[in-house]
Structure 1
């Protein structure tokens, strides 16, 4: 609308009358309003022929709307071509007397094939549209409208066009729906495993589903899926006591639904196209109920030292992990979990691994630790090794002992009994008590010693069911001088080793040594020892330390008789009955201090018995009827095991 206002000449001196001024103001306002409407009117767009055929019998195909760049199709066979100003699009949900299903089928076909650049496809779309929107005219020519109007295309293309038309009708009948829909549901089988069920109408719709606090089976939180049941796994944030799983999905359902986009040209054909995709999307969202969480702490341990000396502390290194869930936090702080470690032992060998300790298993002590998360911990070390043996840890968590926080623990926990990595060994100390088998001997005799071996600090340990063998070394020493040895922790540096023998003890018991020969008179004493360096390498760690008994222990000492020599010189006269006979007896081999030893409480003193001339006459010597001696006196020592009359002598025996 446009207009102009004629100029009216008025005398200069005379202003316009009031009525005239009012009329001019109204007229000016109308003029300005008309100009404004003209300026704000939409730009005019004329339709034009698009992809299709025009061989002189009329156009068959798509029109360019020139409004939004899309192709649209004629809905009115009897109307003029839309080459004038075209308006739109406007989304409509009804058109003439068409059913909602017909609208849905038009929408479906126009969306799938309406924007094609192939004239055989756009020609088939045009035929599909006319057969529904202008069915009366389409079938008014005494033949099938398909056959009649396909004649607007070249004969060589008509078969292809009709085949395309048949395919479109079949697909529309199956897939076109009046009311597309999308629904989601979540089903959690437990705290983590669940499924997302997608239902769509039609069933073939697909779109992007996005999970919150969960992932799909491929590990991603978002993926393109369609209708069906899809496994998911909850992924709550670490430490939370509860969470929800959420799912949302969007489907661009272009071409579905009983709606069309309509373009209009006054006095000409109406054009239709599928509803633009941005306005046809489907979306849905679902969230699970609150899922309460718990977690399962577990403990594995490694003793700080495989071998622990008697009197030292047992220390265990704990590795705490979570086999289910994550360590729950409340009010920003981790839940405290109490773990109890029970140290079983002593056992004389490595106990057999089992789920539970054997009935009656000895307990050395217990310790507790407060756990505040996965990681490494060290036991307090309050239990001290009391004696030799194998000691094994068992750590446990009692759910019922955690009060209100018990609900956050999945279950109680106990690790296995008798694990080698959880076992420490307190080495044993082998020792021996010995006694010489010969208290008295003469030079050249074989001397042996009997030892009784045992462990002085507890059990003699075993390996694979057998006692650990220990090599004992025994050395026989010739004591210097003539007196018995004094007991000492140190060996007399002047003592002469006569020989060293070994005994392999296969456990506690009594063992007899191989012999050592006594070379001369005096005292011979045994010293026994255990040296770790002399043991097989695998045995050494099981032994506490080296050991040696004292030198000069009385019961480990043998007295070897001195080799005394007796010679005589007989002087005979004519002896008649009652006459005198004289003999000179010489006794040699006595030590210089014979007769000075007064005894030490174990070895007796050298008590002297003397024969005078008077007593000699009254005593009979072996193989001698009656003797007289020129010695002032003859002395001998009383033998411990009965006296023999004669001049044999044993010193300090």
Structure 2
């Protein structure tokens, strides 16, 4: 036997012993500890009327096979029931084979099957120096059938799904899936002689599973499950990380090397008692897991400038938190967490907490809408077709706190307003995206509005001086008004020039005339 197999067998033996003790304590009535053999059970009696091959019967109704051929027959002897492990003379594999026969052939009501089971038991425990054929001939005409069937029983014990050293239960928890459901699965592994530890196919046995810190879909904390069955559960705690315990137990399993033996004295046959399977496979898992409850992220926002000028850049301040609503049992009163498949390196931001978990990341999508010519009226939704200046986003990886968006440049005058939203689809399912509730800011929140005033009107230049008014002549009715105006203006000019000339001529004449002396 290899070292791992020895270790597995030791674990199974310890688990079986503990499970048996607990079962006896909880059964309510103490098990029988002794019985008297009343004689032959099921089998064949030789023609001599003395030699017997088959089972013996106890006064509690049990059927038994002899383990020590050559010693006194069981009839009339008081037997104390003991655990097979106390017999001390069988290898673990032979104990497994004997336990297999105790579950299969020993309870039989068919004489040939019972006789074959007894012969197979002797072939394991010892034939006292004789051949199998020697004991088979006690069955008379059925001797060959008994011999053949005993060989078949031994072959079945060593075949796949035959005799086993023990059985072990298992239970696993998996994180929430796309439907936001955590699942739990239980299984059974049997250490068969032929194949070693082997996981049983799903649905072979039924057991009981109980939960702490979580409930099944029907709201109960206990239910019947089958091995290999996966069932969904939800956490019941109010913390982002919940401690969940799942315990499963499968009783009365037809596996393992444990069986009940009877001891009546050193000179009397020890016996193997026919019993149905009594092994148990159980397991408990205690794990701190992310809460399966959804959480509601919310954002309080404030624009960086309530008033600004065209061409300036503005941003939006984000205060991110989780909604707390004590009236809702289905809502996590805090920020959700998830367990990363690969822990981040030491010193990374964010860092895992004491449970190896990180805050669920969300993406805040921000859009600056505008310009609007009139003051903005609050509304649940932005108006259809509202102009968008720009769209930016901030990835929130450290949970609640204060953040700031990238900047957007104001293109002109008018009213501008920020709007934000959080979409669960922006977070992968494996990072907790299925546990995020969507959020959107209302439209027109005062703290989100920025006003850009229009530029001042330019100053107009002074008006030019008005020209002198032209003379106006009376209309003569001749239709030549324009001509008369032109002649009048010309005559006026010529007259002025002639007047000036006359004055200059007179002045020159007086200057040039000779003076006379009287």
TM-score by length of 2: 0.46
TM-score by length of 1: 0.37
Task: Point out the structure with the larger helix share.
Answer: 2
Q: Report which of the two structures shows the higher radius of gyration computed on alpha carbons.
A: 1
